[in-house]
Amino acid sequence: MKEAELRQLLHDMTLEEKIGQLVQLPGYFQNEGAVTGPAGDMGLTQDDLRLAGSYLSIIGAEKIRKLQTEFMVRHPHHIPLLFMADIINGYRTVFPIPLAQGCTFDPELVKEGASIAAREAAAAGIHVTFSPMADLVRDARWGRVMESTGEDPYLNGQMAAAMVRGYQGDSLQEKGHIAACLKHFAGYGAPEGGRDYNNVELSPRTLREDYLPAYQAAVDAGCEVVMTSFNTLDRIPSAANEWLLKEVLRKEMGFSGMVISDWNALQELLAHGIAADQKEAAFIALRAGVDMDMTSPIYTRNLKQLVEEGKVPEHWIDESTWRVLTLKNKLGLFERPFKDADEEDEKALLLSDAHRQAARDCAEKSFVLLKNKEHMLPLQGEEAAFIGPYVDHQSLNGAWSIFADDQDTVTVKTALSRHPKTKNVLTAPGCPINDPDQPVMGFQQPVSPDSLDAEAALREAVSLAKEAKKVVLCLGEHRECTGEAASRGDITLPQCQLRLLDEVVKVNQNIIVVLFGGRPLDIRPLKEKAKTILMAWLPGTEGGNAVVRTLLGESNPSGKLSMCFPYCVGQLPIHYNHLNTGRPYHGDCHAGRFGSKYQDIPNEPLYPFGYGLSYTAFDYSPIRLSADSMTKQGSVTATVTVTNTGDQPGTETVQMYLRDLAASVARPVRMLKGFQKVTLNPGESREVSFTVTEDMLRFYDRSMQYVSEPGDFDVFIGPDSRTENTARFTLV
């Protein structure tokens, strides 16, 4: 539709129709879709439903075509609905969880995954996905770390932008593309104590320097929608924060699309104690800049009266309605209201071989080899017994894969039986996945407890372990222990799994752990007792195949941690790019009592950000600088030579970090500013160069100006965030 026609449409709409556009209804109003938040009837009338702008969580070409047809016939101006859903790490073909995708350090791969998710979802009738989540995360207690790409602002920015490009392509009207909704604006990844929905305290400088860059990258990549976060920031919930949505998001960051609240967040302004009643909540949220109200009755039931009483100027409603109509128009819905919804395409695309292959490839590249003593891996063939609750567990998709069917997932056991090299391998569950006295709640119902006879399972596992040369233990947290509303105060493995480890290690010391889960866990017992640990995260539909191929060396691990593994929960929150403190402690005894440290645990995480091994080994030369100083207009190039010193081909992610040694505000001990992947054959070397420019040296100074200051900088290039391969240059 031409802009003038769209303006005319807006002009012709009644107030009720315009307010209707600002409302997103839950799919369960049509007896459809997953319920992804607290459910209620919202007290709406049939008329309210007749005018809605959007539905959430309804999927399937046939259903959506039917609903759209019926809806448009009844709507006074025949305005099509927007269908939105949480397509997070895939639709039916599920990719690894986003935290794992972060470990690939491969934005192109992540973009490809998002474009496959978009293609499948578009065929199923979806117009907008609630992804990417660009929230920076530092606290593994928070269940939603699985939805983030990790603890680093730069990496998260690269990944968020890649996802937006993958979903949206060059044009939303192109077949197979859907609009991206960036979330959760802002700071949702820093809830106090790691407890979901909790208050967030961030200094303005930390917000801007660490938390906003990834959102900014997604905005710059052109994402069409932004979702507000549940949390308060400086004691103001985001859906009520005019400064955040108008000054920061729209003016400073240049976002011009539609803003949607999170689920029921406008109603929750009452619980926050920000609005005395629903009417005030409606006023506050619209004034703040929330265009669309997700699944609360606040806009539907209050905006009309507020306009009639003269409290809300009608042009506020018009502006928000305009944004909704503009998005529908960009998607081409006025001409093609079903967009790409097509049953034939669904059949051809969902879970196609090509999509499965891409999901498997992504999973393999996301695995992080944490430890590999005595070259336990790769396996040669059938020398290992496979034991543990994850051996034949189909819930490998991550908590947000609400539209996928676990039946489509390849378990480790299935993959073993299909692979010619492992088809006779012996397996046993060993123990239940969860402790029976720790019930786990899923999105809709409690996870049913394992019916396994725990003692018999343990006995079987131990006797199997006794006979085998090696044992692959498939352990981990249940996927429902991760994701939204799944915060944990204890991030160790279930007791039953730790007992299994203890009993098995008594009879066989050649333990390889394949670890599944949605967060970095406290794995001290695994590090102590297992010779090898492969972090497989929640790897998705092709998880089993990816694991088996990796164990057999058909794929060489190259993932690097996008979030560190803490030593234990007492370190949280933890991140590599911290400030130095006035009393930094480096583990030496000279610091005595008064260093910044714990008395009972180390400062260092168990495994740092950026860390990950390979079946081969890489050597780094010292850094060569093109000059030892640069001007603000100039640059310095830092080069290393990376050599594969092992006996097989492998891929390394070469990481470049910078540190500003003295500035007007304290600067982090290092910050990732670049990375490159190199694939090398045994004995092969490659020069890898990074060009440092002045924009990489900027920060928010005392007066909150984003500037660089002359002085000395250290550049670090190496395999992870702990590297000591360093050189110094001066900004003049």
List active site positions: 262
Q: How far is the CB of 256 from ligand NOJ (least distance, A)?
A: 21
Torsion-angle region of residue 699: left (phi > 0), alpha (psi -120 to 50) or beta?
A: beta
Q: Cα–Cα distance between 428 and 413 in angstroms, integer?
A: 10
Nearest to 160 by CA among 96, 216, 224, 119: 216
User: Any contact of residue 86 with ligand NOJ (CB under 6 A)?
Assistant: yes
User: Any contact of residue 268 with ligand NOJ (CB under 6 A)?
Assistant: no
Between residues 152 and 262, which has the closer beta carbon with respect to ligand NOJ? 262
Amino acid sitting at position 141: R
User: Any contact of residue 71 with ligand NOJ (CB under 6 A)?
Assistant: no
Asked if residue 686 lies in contact with residue 642, where contact means CB atoms within 8 angstroms, the answer is: yes
Q: How far is the CB of 120 from ligand NOJ (least distance, A)?
A: 18
The binding track of 542-561 with respect to ligand NOJ, each residue x by CB under 6 A or -, is: --------------------
- Contact with ligand NOJ (CB under 6 A): which of 262, 340, 435, 660? 262
Residue with tokens 């394992």: 450
The binding track of 173-212 with respect to ligand NOJ, each residue x by CB under 6 A or -, is: ----------x-----------------------------
User: Any contact of residue 37 with ligand NOJ (CB under 6 A)?
Assistant: yes
Burial of 144 (C-beta count, 10 Å sphere; 0-12/13-18/19+): buried
Q: How far is the CB of 194 from ligand NOJ (least distance, A)?
A: 16
Report how far apart the first and last C-alpha atoms of the chain are (Å, whole number).
Answer: 54
Asked if residue 145 lies in contact with residue 517, where contact means CB atoms within 8 angstroms, the answer is: no
Number of residues located near ligand NOJ, criterion CB under 6 A: 8
Q: Which long-range contacts (CB under 8 A, 24 or more apart) does 413-416 make?
A: 413/386, 413/544, 414/544, 415/544, 415/545, 415/547, 415/548, 415/549, 416/386, 416/544, 416/548
Between residues 229 and 643, which has the closer beta carbon with respect to ligand NOJ? 229
Q: Which of residues 374-393 bind ligand NOJ (CB under 6 A)?
A: none
Asked if residue 248 lies in contact with residue 215, where contact means CB atoms within 8 angstroms, the answer is: no
Q: How far is the CB of 113 from ligand NOJ (least distance, A)?
A: 18
User: How would you classify the pairing of strands 706-707 and 699-700?
Assistant: antiparallel
Q: How far is the CB of 396 from ligand NOJ (least distance, A)?
A: 21
SS3 232: strand
In sign, the C-alpha dihedral spanning 90, 96, 100, 103 is negative
Between residues 84 and 500, which has the closer beta carbon with respect to ligand NOJ? 84
Between residues 23 and 464, which has the closer beta carbon with respect to ligand NOJ? 23
User: Any contact of residue 36 with ligand NOJ (CB under 6 A)?
Assistant: yes
Between residues 342 and 484, which has the closer beta carbon with respect to ligand NOJ? 484
- Contact with ligand NOJ (CB under 6 A): which of 48, 346, 484, 542? 484
User: Any contact of residue 130 with ligand NOJ (CB under 6 A)?
Assistant: yes
Taking CA atoms, 192 is separated from 200, 403, 521, in Å, by 6, 31, 19
User: Any contact of residue 652 with ligand NOJ (CB under 6 A)?
Assistant: no
Taking CA atoms, 42 is separated from 68, 424, 682, 730, in Å, by 22, 56, 63, 61
Q: Cα–Cα distance between 702 and 414 in angstroms, integer?
A: 59
Between residues 48 and 484, which has the closer beta carbon with respect to ligand NOJ? 484
Q: How far is the CB of 292 from ligand NOJ (least distance, A)?
A: 12
- Determine if the peptide bond prior to 575 is cis (ω within 30°): no
- Contact with ligand NOJ (CB under 6 A): which of 263, 283, 565, 618? 263
Q: How far is the CB of 291 from ligand NOJ (least distance, A)?
A: 16
Torsion-angle region of residue 658: left (phi > 0), alpha (psi -120 to 50) or beta?
A: beta
User: How would you classify the pairing of strands 368-372 and 726-731?
Assistant: unpaired
Q: How far is the CB of 181 from ligand NOJ (least distance, A)?
A: 7
Q: Cα–Cα distance between 634 and 474 in angstroms, integer?
A: 52
Between residues 215 and 699, which has the closer beta carbon with respect to ligand NOJ? 215
Between residues 99 and 696, which has the closer beta carbon with respect to ligand NOJ? 99
Residue 17's contacts (CB-CB under 8 Å, 6 or more residues apart) are 51, 75, 76, 77, 79
Taking each continuous run of H as one helix and of E as one strand, the counts in the chain are 21, 27
Q: How far is the CB of 261 from ligand NOJ (least distance, A)?
A: 10
CA dihedral 350, 356, 359, 361 (to 10 degrees): -160
User: Any contact of residue 142 with ligand NOJ (CB under 6 A)?
Assistant: no
Q: How far is the CB of 197 from ligand NOJ (least distance, A)?
A: 9
Q: Cα–Cα distance between 193 and 378 in angstroms, integer?
A: 39
Between residues 17 and 86, which has the closer beta carbon with respect to ligand NOJ? 86
User: Any contact of residue 690 with ligand NOJ (CB under 6 A)?
Assistant: no
Between residues 486 and 656, which has the closer beta carbon with respect to ligand NOJ? 486
Given the rule CB under 6 A, which residues bind ligand NOJ?
A: 36-37, 86, 130, 183, 262-263, 484
